[in-house]
């Protein structure tokens, strides 16, 4: 019997109702070319395939939707956040979908692509230009965010470094998906850190499936998160010049520090060997895994997370002039907690 016109016009249940519904359910791929069959199996969660191009789509959507549910965020709320780029894109995407005003506070180290995307998505942009003695702009960005929030009675600071909704987004999102995709068989989780929200959220879900899983953080040389000295660094999206309020040291088993040049080499190797065009923190993870994997038993199952796309780093990681301007030597550190 022929379906009615109404039935024919109904979309499939698999059709998303908005771009925000396309966030999540990213694939997990085994890195066979980089880490072959003889050693531990390494799998990468391709968070770079989220519609906004990074894993930061998840907390952007989660924080805004939770805020709208509990009344923290209202239709006239002015969202304000400090970001190196990816969260700004995710928040701009979500804010546009919900008709919310959003101001993104950035600094000169943001990639030109990220800056343009944030602007095209309708966000207002504030650029701080005052660096601290270590060449970082994070403290300046946060000061400006606080000023903007105080000036506008409707202002609301997202505060990704302290907001528990940050880690909860990854717990309910990528963490849940990884456990399901791996059938709970995860021996080592390796994640890059900045706010520490993603590593903590994913790790807490992984630990529920395997309490003995080892949690390895990959940080930038020059970041202070794990107590090492602050030094100039150029790659956005990994490391921080302040310890995040979310940070929980007891939940991290090992820390590997990677410098900017190692990150660049890791990105290039990932693209050459696996055909995965990823951002700077993914290169840091590849470099860290090259140190870590040979120390693991061949039966180990390792999961890592590639946070964002390589297109946003065409004028940095994938630009020879930019790479040539990096310091020729940086001391990489490895710490056991």
Does the active-site annotation cover 56?
A: yes
Whole-number CA gyration radius for the chain: 20
Exposed e or buried b per residue across 246-284, where buried means at least 16 C-beta atoms within 10 angstroms of its C-beta: bbeeeebebbbbbbbbbbbbbbebbbeebebbbbbbbbb
37 Cα distance to chain centroid: 28
Measured CA to CA, the distance from residue 14 to residue 246 in angstroms comes to 36
Q: Cα-flanking dihedrals φ and ψ of residue 39, to 5°?
A: -110, -160
Which one is catalytic: 56, 61, 101, 301? 56
d(CA 110, CA 12): 40
Both tokens of 22, joined, read 């396309």
Q: Is 66 helix (H, G, I), strand (E, B) or coil?
A: helix
Structure tokens of 289? 């895994």
φ, ψ for residue 53, nearest 5 deg: 90, 5
Secondary structure element (H or E) that encloses residue 57, with its range: helix 57-70
How are the residues of the chain apportioned to helix, strand and coil, as percentages rounded to the nearest 5?
40, 15, 45
Question: What is the number of other CB atoms lying within 10 angstroms of the CB of residue 151?
Answer: 10
The sheet carrying 214-220 orders its strands as 28-30, 41-46, 301-306, 188-192, 214-220, 254-258, 334-336
Q: Residue 309 has what DSSP assignment?
A: B
Cα separation, 66 vs 74, in Å, equals 11
Task: Cite the active site residues.
Answer: 56
């Amino acid at each position: 019997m022929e379906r009615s016109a109404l039935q024919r016009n109904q979309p499939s249940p698999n059709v998303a109702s908005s771009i925000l519904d396309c966030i999540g359910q990213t694939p997990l791929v085994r890195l066979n070319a980089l880490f072959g069959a003889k050693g531990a199996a390494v799998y990468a969660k391709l968070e770079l395939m989220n519609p906004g191009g990074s894993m930061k789509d998840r907390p952007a959507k989660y924080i805004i939707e939770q805020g709208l549910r509990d009344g923290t965020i209202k239709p006239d709320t002015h969202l304000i956040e400090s970001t190196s780029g990816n969260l700004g894109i995710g928040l701009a995407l979500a804010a546009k979908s919900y008709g919310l005003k959003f101001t993104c506070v950035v600094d000169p180290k943001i990639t030109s692509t990220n800056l343009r995307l944030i602007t095209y998505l309708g966000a207002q942009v504030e650029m701080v230009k005052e660096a601290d003695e270590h060449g970082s702009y994070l403290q300046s960005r946060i000061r400006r965010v606080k000023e903007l929030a105080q000036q506008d009675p409707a202002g609301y600071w997202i505060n990704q470094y302290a907001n528990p909704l940050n880690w909860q987004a990854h717990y309910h999102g990528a963490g849940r998906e990884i456990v399901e995709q791996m059938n709970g068989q995860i021996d080592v989780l390796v994640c890059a850190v900045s706010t520490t929200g993603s590593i903590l959220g994913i790790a807490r879900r992984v630990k529920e499936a395997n309490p003995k899983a080892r949690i390895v953080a990959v940080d930038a040389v020059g970041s202070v998160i794990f107590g090492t000295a602050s030094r100039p660094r150029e790659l956005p999206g990994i490391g921080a010049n302040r310890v995040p309020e979310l940070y929980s040291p007891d939940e991290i088993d090992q820390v590997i520090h990677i410098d900017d040049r190692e990150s660049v080499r890791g990105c290039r190797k990932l693209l050459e060997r696996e055909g995965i065009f990823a951002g700077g923190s993914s290169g840091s993870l590849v470099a860290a895994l090259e140190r870590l994997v040979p120390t693991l038993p061949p039966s180990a199952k390792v999961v890592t997370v590639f946070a964002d796309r390589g297109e946003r780093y065409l004028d940095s990681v994938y630009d020879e002039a930019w790479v040539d301007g990096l310091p020729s030597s940086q001391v990489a550190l490895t710490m056991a907690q």
